[in-house]
Structure 1
Amino acid sequence: MRAVTLFTAQFADIPLEILAAKAHEWDFDGLELGGHIDIHKASTDQSYCQEILSLLSKYNLKLFAISAHLVGQAVCDRIDERRHRPILPEHVWGDGESEGVKQRAAQEVIAAAYAAKNLGIKIVNGFTGSSIWHLLYGFPPISPEQINEGYEDFAKRWKPILDEYEKCDVHFALEVHPSEIAFDIVSAERTLNAVNNHPSFGFNFDPSHLGYQGVDYIEFLRRFKSRIFHVHMKDVEFDWNRPCEAGVFGGHTMFGDPRRFFNFRSLGRGKIDFERIIRALNQINYGGPLSVEWEDGDMDREVGAQESLQFVRRLDFKRGDKQFDAAFIKQ
């Protein structure tokens, strides 16, 4: 059975020790730290890393991955003070000059690799940002050269980052997601090609962001089976047969607005077929953690975290090592 962990980003306002105690009480196996770690400090201070590991051990929790989602977003994005300054450390934002922010963000993502190494883990999950997301819809007409330039910009900025990850024996797992350089199967393939299938680059599989787009998330697992470095368990509600007012990308509404085509839901309360996901993960021999990323604006988060854990526990199963009818064959 795979370990079931809790992604802490949605609980970032709760001090780590209090959250660790709760996670232990709820019976999680470990944590994926998002917002509960100083990446810059962890990259250079082994004693700080040991403090984190000792705290988790106190509550019988293991650490499987850390998050660089927010800082990673700034590496390729078109920098906007109102969007990016609130999510970035002050030493990354600096004077706010666009290119400087991107370069400092890249250094912070590299620092995350060294932090992971110091913590004894192999996975950093995160975002990459994208210089071409705003060109998603093609009018006025978008030239192929513009899109090519976006992938070239991604490769230029991320290859040096990934080289540092390789030195640390750590993988960067991009969460395929709208607003990133990869947001579906086709763009994920192009992203891999852009970095020449760099061995340190792969994906944090989150079916919720694929499902509401109409992307075949089971095919995603099969297509990129050797690049599935981490898995988020997150559900989403949508209905292709129900007309809505705000379409697939939300119509500039806030999450929770009933006019939206989709809203995230506590595990088991949406439309993602997790039974098929578990079977596909078994088929591709994924043995890493199943990390609960809980997001449901209509539910208490602590109730949701516990119900999601129990949902995953019930659903996950070990793959058999022989065909069911093999026992019928005489030896």
Structure 2
Amino acid sequence: MRPVTMFTGQWADMPFDTLCSKMSSWGYDGLEIACWGEHLNIDKAVESDAYVRSLKDTMEKNHLQCHAIGNHLAGQLVCSRNDERFDVFAPAELHGQPEKMRAWAIDQMKKAAVVARLLGASVVTGFTGSSIWEGWYSFPPVSDEWIEAGYAQFADLWNPILDVYEQNGIKFALEVHPTEIAFDYWTTVRTLDAIRHRPSFGINFDPSHLYWQGIAPEQFIYDFKDRIYHVHMKDAMLNPGPRGGLLGSHITFGDMRRGWNFVSLGRGGVNFERIIRALNDIGYEGPLSVEWEDSGMEREAGAQEALAFVRRMDFKKSGVAFDKAMSNN
């Protein structure tokens, strides 16, 4: 069966050894380690063999493996228009300096490939940012040239990063997500075209971001079957009604006035049965990484419930047709 891991981004306030102990006791197989908070310092990992060894020792002591590392926050700064909202993603000494933040982020994304290799992971998950996300609704009118310039900027900034991934034998998996250069089917097509389908760049499949947009997650798997490098297990709940719209209404996650919310696995509307069958069909054998986000539920109970849900939902593909025996008569 596929290993079930936990993405540590939503647990970044918890010391790494405490987190590993909890995840192991609950039955998780491994981690997708976030590169922020208490869990993984990219610079320190590049500079110190002892630091890397300490992380590996902590995981080994708790019978956990590192299948991927997640560097979403730095990745966001690579292509975004870095105003004051983005300061929290960069070191304090760079706040208010957009281009210095971008340069720092590019360096961090390159180093992430090295660190993934050192930790024995094969994938770095994350974001790319986007200079054209704000043009998703074409008013004021958005020209084709403006959009093309955004994809060209993405290619110019990310191709040198991907060179480092290829040198280290690591793949980058973009979480297709609002505010990224790829946030739905068609933008994913254009993103892959922009970098000429480099094999080092693929997808961290997360159905929750597709579901509320009205995109069938399982179809997305088939459409990009050769690019599914990592899988997030995350659910979302639609909250239809006379007031709640899909754009979120500037209302905080967890508030039931919103038109949709992220919820613990199995409590939303994502059809994971179809997703597992689609993953089986394309031959995906990598981890199923729980990204637990539910502002209305206590997280430790939620993490344990999510693990049980994934274990129950996952299954191997049959090696024989159910009616094969009939042909033996």
> Does TM, scored on the shorter chain, surpass 0.5?
yes
SS in 2 for 1:203: strand
The total of aligned residue pairs comes to 326
Equivalent position to 1:253, from 241, 251, 254: 251
Work out the CA distance in 2 between the residues paired with 1:69 and 1:184: 18
Greater CA drift, 220-229 or 36-45: 36-45
Aligned to 1:181: 181
1:271 to 263, 269, 272: 269
1:244·1:260 contact (CA, 8 Å) conserved in 2?
no
Say whether residues 1:61 and 2:64 are aligned partners.
yes
CA drift of 1:256 comes to 1.5
Aligned residue in 2 for 1:77: 80
Question: Match of 2:262, as an amino acid?
Answer: F
Give the letter for the 2:76 counterpart: Q
**Partner residue in 2 for 1:38:** 41
Which has the higher mean CA deviation after the structures are superposed, 104-113 or 243-252? Answer: 243-252
Rounded Cα–Cα distance in structure 2 between residues aligned with 1:220 and 1:8: 25
Quote how far apart the aligned CAs of 1:95 are. 5.7
Task: Give the alignment of 1:109-188 within 5 angstroms.
Answer: 109-188=109-188
Matches within 5 A, 1:98-109: 98-109=98-109
After TM superposition, list the pairs within 5 Å mapping 1:280-295 onto structure 2. 280-295=278-293
CA RMSD of aligned residues (A): 1.3
Q: Which amino acid aligns with 2:148?
A: N
The worse-fitting range, judged by mean Cα deviation, of 47-56 and 267-276 is 47-56
Q: Deviations over 1:184-208 (max 9, x none)?
A: 0100010000011011000000000
Residue 121 (structure 1) shift: 1.3
- 1:44 is matched by which residue type in structure 2? E
In 2 relative to 1, CA 290–95 (structure 1 residues): closer, same or farther, beyond 3 Å? closer
Matched residue, 2:195: 195
SS of match in other structure, 1:147: helix
Does the 8 A contact of 1:294 with 1:301 survive in 2? yes
Give the gaps of 5 or more residues in structure 1.
Answer: none
- Tell whether the 8 Å contact from 2:73 to 2:126 is kept in structure 1 after alignment: yes
Once the 2 structures are TM-superposed, how far is the Cα of residue 246 of structure 1 from its aligned partner? Answer: 4.0
Deviation at 1:330, TM superposition (A): 2.3
Identify the match of residue 51 of structure 2 among 44, 48, 51: 48
Which secondary structure state, in structure 2, belongs to the residue aligned with residue 231 of structure 1?
A: strand
**Aligned equivalents of 1:204, 1:218: Cα separation in 2:** 14
Q: State the SS of the aligned residue for 2:162.
A: helix
8 A Cα contact 1:212 1:236, kept in partner: yes
CA distance in structure 1 between the partners assigned to 2:256 and 2:95 by the alignment: 39
AA matched with 2:73: L
* Contact persistence 1:246–1:253 (CA under 8 A): no
Kindly state the Cα deviation for residue 118 of structure 1 after the two structures are TM-superposed.
Answer: 1.1
After superposition, give the CA deviation of every residue in 1:70-109 in whole Å (9 maximum; x if it has no partner): 000000011112x21112234xx62632222112211110
CA pair 246-149 structure 1, distance change in 2 beyond 3 A:
farther
- Contact 2:87–2:95 (8 Å) recurs in 1: no
Report the Cα distance in structure 2 between the residues aligned to 1:15 and 1:244, rounded to whole angstroms. 43
Q: TM-score, normalised by structure 2?
A: 0.96
Question: Secondary structure of the equivalent of 1:232?
Answer: strand
In 2: Cα distance, 1:267 partner to 1:282 partner: 20
Instruction: Write out per-residue CA displacement over residues 255-306 of structure 1, whole angstroms, 9 at most, x where no aligned residue.
Output: 1122211001000000000000000000000000000111111110000000
| Structure 2 SS opposite 1:141 | coil
Three-state SS of the structure 2 residue aligned to 1:192 is helix
3-state SS of paired residue (2:160): helix
Judged with a 3 Å threshold, the aligned counterparts in structure 2 of structure 1 residues 68 and 244 are, in CA distance, closer, same or farther, namely farther
Which residue of structure 2 lines up, in the alignment, with residue 89 of structure 1? 91
Aligned partner letter, 1:116: A
Which residue of the partner structure matches residue 27 of structure 1? Answer: 27
- The aligned counterpart of 2:210 is 210
5+ residue gaps, structure 2, are none
- 2:12 maps to 1:16: no
Q: Distance in 2 between matches of 1:105 and 1:329?
A: 60
